[in-house]
Chains A and B, each alone.
Chain A
Amino acid sequence: MTALVRRILGKAGPFIGLVLVIGLFSIPAETREHFLTFHNFKIIFTQTVIVSIGALGMTLIIVSGAIDLSVGSTIALTGVVGALLIQRGWGAAATTAAAVCVGGGVGFLNGSAVAFLRMPSFIITLGMLGIGRGMAKWLADNQTVNFDFSPINGWMTTSNPSGAELPAGVWVAVALAVVTSLVLRKTVFGRHVFALGSNEAAARLCGVATVRLKIVVFAVAGCLFGLAGIFQLSRLRVGDPTVAVGLELDVIAAVIIGGASLNGGVGTVLGSIIGALIMSVLRNGSQQMGWPNYFQEIIIGLVIIVAVFLDRFRRGGKA
Chain B
Amino acid sequence: MKSNLRLRLDGISKSFGATRALKSVSLEVAAGEVHALIGENGAGKSTLLKILSGAHQSDAGTMELEGRPYRPSGPLDARRRGVAMIYQEVNLVPHLSARENILLGSESSTFGWIDAGASRDRAREALAALGYGHFPLERAAMEFSIAEQQVIDIARALLAQPRVLVMDEPTSSLTRSDTEKLFAVIARLRAQGVSIIYVSHFLEECRRTCDRYTILKDGETAGAGAMKDAGADTLVALMTGRPVTALYPAGLREPGPVVLEARSVQSPPRVESASFRLREGEVFGIAGLIGAGRTDLLRALFGLDAAAAGDVAVFGKPAGWATPRRRWSEGVGFLSENRKEEGLMLNLSIQDNVTLTKLETFGRLGWISRKRQAAAARRWTGELGVKCRGVDQDVVELSGGNQQKVALARLLAHPARILLLDEPTRGIDVGSKAQVYEIIGRLAAEGKSVVLVSSYLPELLGMCDTIGVMVRGRLVAVRPRGEWSEPELLRVAVGNE
User: Which residue of A194, A201, A207 has the most chain B CB atoms within 10 A of its CB atom?
Assistant: A207
Our pick among A194, A199, A207 for the contact of B327 (Cβ within 8 Å) is A207
Q: A313 to nearest B CB, angstroms? A: 16
CB distance from B132 to the nearest CB of A (A): 33
Contact between A202 and B342, CB atoms less than 8 A apart: yes
A3 to B327, CA, bound (A): 43
CB pair A203–B325 under 8 Å, yes or no, is no
Which of A45-53, A116-124, A182-190, A221-229 lies on the face that meets chain B?
A182-190
Which residues of B from 274 to 325 have beta carbons under 8 Å from A? Answer: 302, 304, 323-325
Interface string of B381-407 (1 = CB under 8 A from A): 000000000000000100000000000
Q: How near does chain A come to B6, taking the closest CB pair, in angstroms?
A: 33
A283 at the interface (CB under 8 A from B): no
Question: Chain A, 1-36, contact with B by CB distance < 8 Å: what is the 0/1 string?
Answer: 001000000000000000000000000000000000
Which residues of A152-197 have CB atoms within 8 Å of chain B's CB atoms? 185-189, 191-192, 194-195
Q: Are B324 and A205 in contact (CB under 8 A)?
A: yes
Contact assessment for B348 and A195 in the assembled complex, using a CB-CB cutoff below 8 Å: yes
A202 touches B334 (CB 8 A): no
Q: Is the interface of A mostly helix, strand, loop or mixed?
A: helix
A202 to B346 alpha-carbon distance, docked (Å): 10
- Separation of A185 and B17 alpha carbons in the complex (Å): 33
Q: If the complex has contacts A188-B359, A191-B356, are A202 and B370 also in contact, measured as CB distance less than 8 A?
A: no
- B321, chain A: closest CB distance, angstroms: 15
Output the least CB separation between A262 and chain B (Å).
13
B window 389-444: CB within 8 A of A: 396, 410
In the complex with contacts A205-B336, A207-B327, A188-B366 CB distance below 8 A: yes
Residue pair B348, A205 in contact (C-beta under 8 Å) = no
In the complex, whether B268 has a CB less than 8 A from a CB of chain A is no
Contact yes or no, B344 A202, CB < 8 A? yes
Contact among A198, A199, A204 with B324 in the assembled complex (CB-CB below 8 Å): A204
Q: B326 — nearest CB in chain A belongs to which residue?
A: A207
A3 touches B17 (CB 8 A): yes
In chain A between 51 and 109, which residues have their CB closer than 8 angstroms to a CB of chain B? none
- Residue B111 lies at the interface, judged by CB distance under 8 Å to chain A: no
* Number of interface residues, chain B, beta carbon within 8 A: 32
CB of B414 to closest CB in A, whole Å: 9
Taking the closest CB of chain A, its distance from the CB of B411, in whole angstroms, is 10
Q: B342 to A199, Cβ gap below 8 A?
A: yes
Encode A199-240 as 1/0 by CB contact (under 8 A) with B.
Answer: 101111111110000000000000000000000000000000
Cβ-based interface call for A266 (8 A) = yes
Q: Which B335-373 residues sit within 8 Å CB-CB of chain A? A: 336, 341-348, 352, 356-357, 359-360, 363, 366-368, 370
B347 touches A208 (CB 8 A): no
Contact check, A209 vs B325: say whether CB atoms are below 8 A apart.
yes
* In the assembled complex, B328 has its CB within 8 A of some CB on chain A: yes
A265 near B348 (CB under 8 angstroms)? yes
Residue with the greatest number of chain A CB neighbours at <10 A, chosen from B347, B352, B360: B347
Contact across chains for A206 and B366 when beta carbons are under 8 A apart: no
Say yes or no: A208-B356 contact (C-beta < 8 A), given A198-B348, A199-B341, A199-B342: yes
**B34-78: which residues lie under 8 A (CB-CB) from chain A?**
none
Bound-state CA distance A202–B356 (Å) is 10
In the assembly, what is the distance between CA of A185 and CA of B344, in Å? 19
> In the bound complex, what is the Cα–Cα distance between A188 and B304 (angstroms)?
22
Q: How close is A260's CB to chain B, nearest CB, in angstroms? A: 12
* From A189, A198, A206, A209, residue with most partner B Cβ within 10 Å: A206
Which of A228-265 touch B at CB < 8 Å? 261, 265
- Closest-CB distance, A317 to chain B (whole angstroms): 12
A188–B347 CB distance below 8 A: no
Instruction: Say how far B71's CB is from chain A's closest CB, in angstroms.
Output: 24
Give the Cβ gap from A156 to chain B, nearest Cβ, in Å: 32
Question: Closest approach, in angstroms, between the C-beta of B324 and any C-beta of chain A?
Answer: 5
What are the residues of chain B within 8 A of A203 when measuring CB–CB? 345, 356
Q: Which chain B residue lies CB-closest to A187? A: B366
Asked if A201 meets B357 with Cβ closer than 8 Å, knowing A186-B368, A209-B325, the reply is: no
Q: How far is the CA of A208 from the CA of B356 in the complex (A)?
A: 8
Q: Which residues of A contact B342 (CB under 8 A)?
A: 199, 201-202, 205
* In the complex, residue of chain A having the shortest beta-carbon distance to the beta carbon of B328: A207
Beta-carbon contact of A206 and B368 below 8 Å: no
**CB of B374, distance to nearest CB on chain A (Å):** 13
Indicate if the CB atoms of B366 and A189 lie closer than 8 Å.
Answer: yes
Give Cα A207–Cα B327 distance, bound, in whole angstroms. 8
Query: Which residues of A sit under 8 angstroms from B348, Cβ to Cβ?
Result: 194-195, 198, 265
Q: How far in angstroms is the closest Cβ of chain A from B298?
A: 11
Taking CB atoms, residues of chain B closer than 8 Å to A198 are 345-348
Q: List, in ascending order, chain A residues with CB within 8 A of B17's CB.
A: 3
- Residues from chain A with Cβ under 8 Å of B396 in the complex: 318
Tell me how far the C-beta of B390 lies from the nearest C-beta in chain A, rounded to whole angstroms.
15
What residues of chain B lie closer than 8 Å to A3, measured between beta carbons? 17
Centre residue among A199, A201, A202 by max chain B CB count within 10 A: A202
Inter-chain contact A192/B359, CB cutoff 8 Å: yes
Q: How far is the CA of A185 from the CA of B345 in the complex (A)?
A: 16
**B343 contact set on A, CB distance < 8 A:** 202, 205
Residue of A nearest to B327 (CB): A207
What residues of B have a CB within 8 angstroms of the CB of A194 in the complex? 345, 348, 352
Residues of B close to A186: CB separation below 8 A: 367-368, 370
Nearest to B362 among chain A residues (CB) is A188
A201, B337: Cα distance in complex, Å:
12
Chain B min CB distance to A216 (Å): 12
Q: Report the separation of the CA atoms of residues A206 and B323 in the bound assembly, to the nearest whole angstrom.
A: 10
Chain B residues within 8 Å of A187, by CB: 366-368
Min CB–CB distance B419 → chain A (angstroms): 13
Q: Is the CB of A266 within 8 A of B328?
A: no
Q: How far is the CB of B19 from chain A (nearest CB, A)?
A: 12
Flag if B324 contacts A195 (CB, 8 Å). no
Residue-wise interface mask of B (82-114) relative to A, using a CB-CB cutoff of 8 A (1 in contact, 0 not)? 000000000000000000000000000000000
CA distance A189 to B357 in the complex (A): 12
Known: A205-B304, A205-B336, A206-B357. A191 touches B410 (CB 8 A): no
- Do residues A207 and B325 form an inter-chain contact, with CB atoms below 8 A? yes
CB distance from A283 to the nearest CB of B (A): 32
Q: How far is the CB of B468 from chain A (nearest CB, A)?
A: 24
Complex contacts, A191 vs chain B, CB 8 Å: 352, 356, 359, 368
How far, in angstroms, from A6 to B327 measured CA to CA in the complex?
Answer: 42
Which residues of the partner chain A approach B329 to less than 8 Å between Cβ atoms? 207
Please give me the 6 A-B residue pairs with the lowest Cβ-Cβ distance, nearest first. A198-B345, A207-B325, A201-B342, A207-B328, A188-B359, A199-B345
Listed by A's residue number, 20 A-B pairs whose Cβ atoms lie within 8 Å are: A185-B370, A186-B367, A187-B368, A188-B359, A188-B366, A194-B352, A195-B352, A202-B336, A206-B356, A206-B357, A206-B410, A207-B324, A207-B326, A207-B327, A207-B329, A209-B323, A209-B325, A265-B348, A266-B347, A318-B396
Given known contacts A187-B368, A209-B325, what 12 new A-B pairs fall within 8 Å (CB)?
A: A188-B366, A195-B348, A198-B345, A201-B336, A205-B304, A205-B324, A205-B342, A206-B356, A206-B410, A207-B325, A207-B357, A265-B345
The residues of B with any CB-CB pair to A shorter than 8 Å are 17, 302, 304, 323-329, 334, 336, 341-348, 352, 356-357, 359-360, 363, 366-368, 370, 396, 410
